[in-house]
Amino acid sequence: DSGVTQTPKHLITATGQRVTLRCSPRSGDLSVYWYQQSLDQGLQFLIQYYNGEERAKGNILERFSAQQFPDLHSELNLSSLELGDSALYFCASSVGAGDEQFFGPGTRLTVL
């Protein structure tokens, strides 16, 4: 158990819909990262927050957004969903930049 929790574990929805994925970091970790993992693209970094502020942005689509709340949990919002958004979405946390990341179990999103 990494100490990082993600909900829900599975999500099935339709194209055009909007979903919210939730992540609670390990106690004491200030950084939260979001990744998308698919068979054809591998593990893609989406976005990082540090203590409530956006720190780095990767290959995140404009239809996707995220935020980190004062209690340090984070949410990833995916809207206008397309079939190609079906993937595993991982959240990870770390103490700070450059430190080892602790990954959650992931949310498997299926868009039908």
Partner 1 sequence: GNSVTQMEGPVTLSEEAFLTINCTYTATGYPSLFWYVQYPGEGLQLLLKATKADDKGSNKGFEATYRKETTSFHLEKGSVQVSDSAVYFCALDPASGGSYIPTFGRGTSLIVHP
**Which chain residues interact with partner 1 by CB under 8 A?**
2, 4, 33, 35, 42-43, 45, 48, 50, 55-56, 58, 90, 92, 96-106
Peptide bond into 70 cis (omega under 30): no
d(CA 24, CA 75) in angstroms, rounded, equals 9
| Residue 4 in tokens | 């990082």
In angstroms, give the least distance from the CB of 19 to partner 1.
Answer: 19
d(CA 52, CA 59) in angstroms, rounded, equals 20
**What length is written for the chain?**
112
In angstroms, give the least distance from the CB of 90 to partner 1.
Answer: 6
In three-state secondary structure terms, 5 is strand
| Residue 93 in tokens | 């946390």
**Nearer Cβ to partner 1, position 71 or 100?**
100
**Nearer Cβ to partner 1, position 8 or 16?**
8
In angstroms, give the least distance from the CB of 72 to partner 1.
Answer: 17
**Nearer Cβ to partner 1, position 67 or 103?**
103
**Nearer Cβ to partner 1, position 33 or 64?**
33
